[in-house]
Chains A and B, each alone.
Chain A
Amino acid sequence: MSRAVRSGARRARLPRGEGPWAWLAAGSVALSLLLLGGLLTLIAVSGLGHFWPASVSLLELDDGRQLAGRAVRELPLPEGEGRERLYFTGNRDLDGQVWHWLAVERIAASERPPELVVLERRRFGDFIGRLVAVVPADRVQAAAAAAAADEPEAWAALGSRLDALEALRAERETLRRGVILPLVRQLEADPEDRAARRELAQANARARVLAAAMQGEVAILESVDGRRLVQPLDEVLRAWRPNAMSLPEKLGAWSRGLWRFLSEGPRAANTAGGVWPAIFGTVLMVLLMSVVVTPFGVLAAVYLNEVAHQGRLTRWVRIAVRNLAGVPSIVYGVFGLGVFVYGIGGSLDEWFFDEQLPSPTFGTGGLLWASLTLALLTLPVVIVATEEGLARIPVHQREGALALGATRLEMLARVVLPMAVPAMLTGVILAIARAAGEVAPLMLVGVAKLAPQVPVDGEFPFLHLDRKFMHLGYHLYDTAFHGDDVQAAMPVVYATALLLVLVVLVLNLTAIFMRHHLRARHGALPRH
C-alpha cells in the first residue's frame, strides 16, 4: 500500500501529460462562467420581462365561473395530481386578491379576446376586464342604463382622455417645480414678500384649475364575470389591450415601460413605478465616495511607500491597513453613525444650524455621511492598490529623475505619481465595485426608503449633502421584504437587481476605460 502511495506521489510530481489538469482547470472556469451567466440571465429575463405587455386569457372554469388574467407560472401538484397554474387577475377592489392558483384541468376553456383591457391605476393596482364607456361623472347613471355601448368608441375616448390627463399632469408638475416650490422657499426666507405671496396665490389657483380639469370623468368598467365598476379617470395611469397588440406595438410598450422604470420615481410603497431617484442616489454617492477616497488613499499610500522609514512600525501599519479591508461593512456603518452622524453632524448642527434644532440638519443620516462612511470602508482598497503600483515603478525611473537634478518631491510629482495613476485607478475601480453594492452600512447612515427628491436640484447650494437619498441596493431589499405583495414585487426586485449590476458595471467600465486610455498613451511599462 505504502509503496503504491509513494509511486503515486512520484507520478504526481512528474505528470506524464497535462490532460487531466487542463480539464480540471478548464472545467472550473467553465462552471464559474456558467453560474455567472445563469445568474445574469435569470435576473435579466425576470427583470426585463416585467415590462412586457403579456397577453391576457379569458378563462372559463368547469363550474362556469369566468376569470381573466395573465399566466405567471405553472407548477406540478404533489403526487401527480396534474398541474397548477398561477394567474395574475388584478381587480383588487373587486376580488380582494390579485393572484389565483388554478388547477389546469379545471380550466374548461381559454381564449384571448382582443377587447380585454388592462388599466394601470394609482390605487388597487391593475384592472383586467372590459371597458363599457367613458363618461362625465354626473352621467354615470344614464350611461350605465344604456348598457350596450359602442366598445371601440369607448376605447378611443379612453385613449384621448388619458393623453389629455398626461398633459395636464405634466403641466401641473412643471408648475409645482418651476413656480410654486421656489415661491414657497422665497416666502420661507422672507414671509413679508407681498409680490411673492400674490404670485403664489395665482399659481395655486392655476394648480387648482388643473386639478379640477383632471377630475370629473370616469370609465365604466366591467369584469369578465359581469361586475360593474366606476373608475375615476384621473387615477388611471395607462391602459392597453394586450391581446389586440401586434409585436411591434408590444415592443414599443415594453421599451416605454422600461424607460418609465428608469426615469420615474417609485409609487405604491415602492412596488410600482420607477427607480430613478435610487439610480441617481447610488451613482451620486459612489462618485462622492470616489472623490473623497482617492486623494486620501493616494496620500496614505505615498506616505507609506515613499516617505515613511521602512521599519517595523510601517510594516505593522501596512498589515493593519490590509486587514481593515476585511472588517465587516456594518461595523463601518456603526462607526459612521457614531462618529459622523452623531458626533460631527451633531456638533455641526449646534454650531451652524441651531435655529433649526431640534430637527437635525447634519445630525441625521445623509448623503455626505454615507459617502464618507463608504470612503472609509474602501480606503484600504485604494491604499493597497496604489502602494502596489508605487512599488512596481522601476527604481531606474526614480533614479533617472534624481540624476537629472530632481528633488525627491519633484521625482514623486512628475515621474512616480503619473506612472502610478493606472494603479490608483485600479484601486478606485475596486473601491467602486465594493461601495456600489454595499447596503448594510448605508441603512445606518443615510439611505431612505422613499426620497423622491434627488439630492441635486436648482436650489442653492444645488448639491444637498444633508439630504437622505435612495439607493438601488436598499430599494431592492425594501421591495423584496417590506411590501405587502411579495409576488407582485418580485419582477421589480429582479429589474432593480439587474439595474444595480448594470450601474456597477458602467461605473467600473468608466474607470477601466480611463485607465486604458492612460496606459495606451505611452504603452505598457517596459520590463528590464
Chain B
Amino acid sequence: MSVQPFQTMPVSRRPAGPIIDVSPEASSLEIENLTLAYAGKPALRELTLRIPRQRVTAFIGPSGCGKSTLLRALNRLHDLNEAVSWRGSIRLEGQDIHAPEVAVDELRRRVGMVFQAPNPFPMSIYENVAFGLRLRGGLSRRRLDDIVEWALNAAALWDEVKDRLRASAWSLSGGQQQRLVIARTLAVRPEVLLLDEPASALDPISTLKIEELIRSLKSQLTLVLVTHNMQQAARVSDYTAFLHEGELVEYGPTDDVFTNPRLARTENYITGRMA
C-alpha cells in the first residue's frame, strides 16, 4: 500500500487539547500524523499519539469519530479494503509497521485483536485456541496442550471449559465466547491486544468478567480498548484518548480526562451532553 495524497483534506488543524507526553521509550505504539480516508472521505485527521507499554489505553468518542478505524489501522486490517487510503506512520516498538520487510501476518500475531461480536470459529473450543498456533505449526501435541491450557487460564475460562474442550465453541455463552476469543488471541503471545468494544454485546456479568480480565492482562501486554461505555473506560483504562470527527481532541491519564477535562468538547461528551 502506498501513501496517497489527499485533495479533500483540509490542512491539518492541530488538536487544541493538551496531549500528554509518553516518552518514546515507554511507548509500545507510536502513531504519527496518521491520516486515513474511506473512498476519499476522511476518517482520521493528522493523529499523533503514543500508546504506553503495559497499560490500558481507551479510545472514546461518539459514533463515527474514527476510534475503531484507528484501532484497525494498528494491525493493518485496512489492507484488505481497497477503498482505504492513508498517510502518516505507525511504529510498533520503533519499527514502522508498513515497512516492506514487515510481513502483515507476522505483524498481526504481534498485535492481536478482539472484535465487538464474539467470533469463535465453528470448531471445538480447543481448536479455536490452537488455531493461531497451528498456522505456524511445528508444535508438539504436548506443547500445544500446554499453551491452550495457559491461554484459557489467562482468559479466565479454563475452569469453565476444561471438561469440554472438544465441544463446539458455538455451544458457549456470549461472554464465554468472547473470553475464548481473547484466549485464542493470547495463545499466539501478542505484544499488543486491540479490543474493539469487546463487551458491548454482553450482559453485565460477562462485561464485568471481561473488564477484570483486561485489568489482569496489562502486566503482560499493552491493551488498547475502544468503548462506547464511559464507565467502562473509567473503570479499566489508565489512559484515555477522546476522538471527535477523526481528530484527537484530548488524551491523558484517565483520571484527569474524566475528572478534569481541559476542553469543553470532552466534558460535554463525557457528561453525556454530546451524542
Binding site for B on A (CB under 8 A): 394, 396-397, 399-407, 410, 414-415, 418-419, 521-523, 525-526, 528
List which B108-125 residues lie within 8 A (CB) of chain A: 108-109, 112-113, 115-117, 119-123
Q: A394–B120 Cα gap in the complex (Å)?
A: 11
Q: A400–B168 Cα gap in the complex (Å)?
A: 17
Take A396-B119, A397-B121, A400-B115 as given contacts and tell me if A407 and B105 are in contact as well, using a CB distance cutoff of 8 Å. Answer: yes
Which of A399, A407, A415, A419 meets B115, CB within 8 Å? A399
Nearest chain B CB to A446's CB is how many angstroms away? 41
Which of B105, B136, B181 meets A400, CB within 8 Å? B181
Q: A528–B202 Cα gap in the complex (Å)?
A: 12
A402 and B80 form a contact (CB under 8 A):
yes
Query: A418 — nearest CB in chain B belongs to which residue?
Result: B122
Q: A410–B131 Cα gap in the complex (Å)?
A: 11
B62 at the interface (CB under 8 A from A): no
B119 and A523 form a contact (CB under 8 A):
no
List which B157-183 residues lie within 8 A (CB) of chain A: 168-171, 181
B122 and A419 form a contact (CB under 8 A):
yes
B123 and A522 form a contact (CB under 8 A):
yes
B102 at the interface (CB under 8 A from A): no
Give chain B residues whose Cβ lies under 8 Å from the Cβ of A399. 77, 113, 115, 119
Give chain B residues whose Cβ lies under 8 Å from the Cβ of A397. 119, 121
Total inter-chain residue pairs, C-beta < 8 Å: 72
B105 and A522 form a contact (CB under 8 A):
no
What is the number of residues of chain B that contact chain A, defined by CB distance less than 8 Å?
Answer: 30
**Beyond known contacts A399-B113, A402-B80, A402-B108: 14 more, CB 8 A cutoff:** A397-B119, A400-B120, A402-B77, A403-B108, A403-B112, A404-B108, A404-B185, A406-B105, A406-B132, A414-B121, A414-B131, A414-B135, A522-B122, A523-B171
Take A410-B135, A521-B168, A523-B168 as given contacts and tell me if A401 and B121 are in contact as well, using a CB distance cutoff of 8 Å. Answer: yes
Nearest chain B CB to A517's CB is how many angstroms away? 13
Which of B105, B123, B170, B201 meets A405, CB within 8 Å? B105
Q: A406–B75 Cα gap in the complex (Å)?
A: 13
Contacts A/B (CB < 8 Å), 28 sampled: A394-B119, A397-B121, A399-B77, A399-B119, A400-B119, A401-B121, A401-B131, A402-B80, A403-B77, A403-B108, A403-B185, A404-B109, A404-B132, A404-B184, A404-B185, A405-B108, A405-B109, A405-B135, A405-B136, A406-B131, A418-B122, A419-B122, A521-B168, A522-B123, A523-B168, A525-B122, A526-B170, A528-B201
Which of B80, B106, B121, B168 meets A415, CB within 8 Å? B121
Query: A405 — nearest CB in chain B belongs to which residue?
Result: B109
